[in-house]
Amino acid sequence: MTKSFSVDLAITCHVVLYTGESYFEINIEADNNDITEHPHDDKPTPYVCTVCHKRFMSKHGLRYHVKTHTGDNVYSCNECGKCFSYLSGLYRHMNIHGRKYKCTECDKCFGDRHDLAKHVQSHAGEKPFECTVCSKRFTQSRSLVKHSRIHSGEKPHKCHMCDKAFSESGHLNRHMRVHTGEKPYKCSLCNRCYSRASHLQSHKRHVHSNIRPYDCPYCGKLFKRNGHLKEHVRTHTGAKPYSCRHCSERFTWPVQLKQHLLESHNEGTWFTCHICRKKFSYSEYLKVHIRRHEGVKPYVCYECPKRFCTGGELKQHQLVHQVI
């Protein structure tokens, strides 16, 4: 009879890290109850994850895998804020910023020569991996595996806290931050934190830079977001894409449609200020309104001590510093 038992790992590591500019020390303590060891199992993969039951040849492989469930990322990149579970992952990632493995065709950079070699296939047009369902072809086998889940509906990566399932481990890692509240990506200019690297990059582009890549074909006005440009273009075209399902009225903005439904068809919910009884069609508008009653100004300028009630007011103010 095969015996199995659980092992609680409580490991404290004293680590000295070199960031490229200075050294610093950290203590990392791992306390993991998600590891089940089967030392006498006759199968070749005796270490089993108790969350998803995936099996591994070694404890090291299992410990590495378990972090996909816990979302532990303790090593962060000084360049972009991206976080990693292991130093090896951080070192490999830093090659991207060092531009060591750069594609000569498109200047895209990679963490190692293997990823670069796989990328080069995309320029050569080589796509040896074909989907048996829709015949779509891919340059990498892992891309085909991910694609095949569209047809099969397979979602092998499951959250152990809410049972929500995902088709990719990266999606699960991002989801785990909903439970942990982790926001590992920190803006170096205003210290605001985000749960995703893409959100941090968007924040830097929209708040701390004046890059406006989207221009209006009618008047030449520039915008930071494509969505803002699309909204602006309606002022020129007079387009009214939002229609009422009860009557023939059409509207340029969704807020106008909601206001119409509330006033004309009694559909929806008003949000009423408990101080002055003013009504709002959106709860967000009421929250901002109440801030003005209470004098709350949560948005702080990173250039001066001025504070503002809304993010829009802060952005408008920051233009003053950009002009200077």
**Of 104, 91, 75, 65, whose CA–CA distance to 13 is shortest?**
75
Question: How far is CA 184 from its chain centroid?
Answer: 11
**8 A C-beta contact, residue 30 and residue 9:** yes
**Residues 140-168 pLDDT 10s:** 788 888 888 888 888 888 888 887 888 88
133-142: which pairs have CB atoms within 8 A and are 24 or more residues apart? none
Alpha-carbon gap, residue 115 to 102, rounded angstroms: 10
Report the interhelical angle of 169-180 vs 59-70 (nearest 10°): 60
Domain boundaries, the chain: 1-70
Q: Which pLDDT does position 28 carry in this prediction?
A: 35
> Three-state DSSP class for 134?
coil
**Of 31, 41, 27, whose CA–CA distance to 8 is shortest?**
31
Q: Which two tokens stand for residue 131?
A: 């989907």
Alpha-carbon gap, residue 74 to 54, rounded angstroms: 24
**Residues 213-243 pLDDT 10s:** 889 999 988 888 888 888 889 989 999 999 9
CA dihedral angle for residue 110, residue 113, residue 117, residue 123, rounded to 10 degrees: 40
**Of 29, 85, 278, 79, whose CA–CA distance to 185 is shortest?**
79
Q: Which helix (H) or strand (E) holds 65?
A: helix 59-70
Alpha-carbon gap, residue 222 to 212, rounded angstroms: 6
Q: Which two tokens stand for residue 234?
A: 């309606």
Which phi and psi (to 5°) does residue 176 adopt? Answer: -60, -25
The Cα angle at residue 296 between residues 295 and 297, in degrees rounded to 5 = 115
Three-state SS for 13-38 is EEEEEECCCCEEEEEEEEEECCEEEC
The Cα angle at residue 173 between residues 172 and 174, in degrees rounded to 5 = 90
Q: Give the residues of the chain that fall short of pLDDT 70.
A: 1-45, 52, 67-74, 81, 85, 322-324
Q: Which two tokens stand for residue 19?
A: 């960031």
Q: Which two tokens stand for residue 120?
A: 């080069």
Which amino acid would we find at residue 162? C
Q: Give me the residues paired with residue 15 across strands.
A: 26
Q: Which pLDDT does position 249 carry in this prediction?
A: 93
Q: Which pLDDT does position 154 carry in this prediction?
A: 87
